[in-house]
Amino acid sequence: MSRKGAAAVVEQHLTPAEVCARLAVSRRTLFSLMVPGRLWPVVRLNARNIRVPASAVNRFLASSSWSPKSVEL
């Protein structure tokens, strides 16, 4: 049975390195922000790999006074 007009919505998940790049922080700072309940939900793929929903990172940026460091090239 198919549903016409229904599209599957797949949320993008970011690696810790990608989140660090968006927030302009170190990996250590990122993991301190990931204390349970402090920042966002984390999806654990296995014992070594995690992902963060992109929407959670965007909500964090929009709702906080967080301002990434400016990067000079």
Q: Is 67 part of a structural domain of the chain? A: no
Q: What share of the chain is helix, strand, coil (3-state, %, to 5)?
A: 35, 10, 55
Q: Model-level pTM?
A: 0.70
Q: Is 68 part of a structural domain of the chain? A: no
Look up the domain containing 48 and give its range.
13-61
Report how many domains make up the chain: 1
* Tens digit of each residue's pLDDT, the chain (73 residues): 556 666 667 889 999 999 999 988 899 888 887 776 666 788 888 988 999 999 888 888 887 666 655 444 3
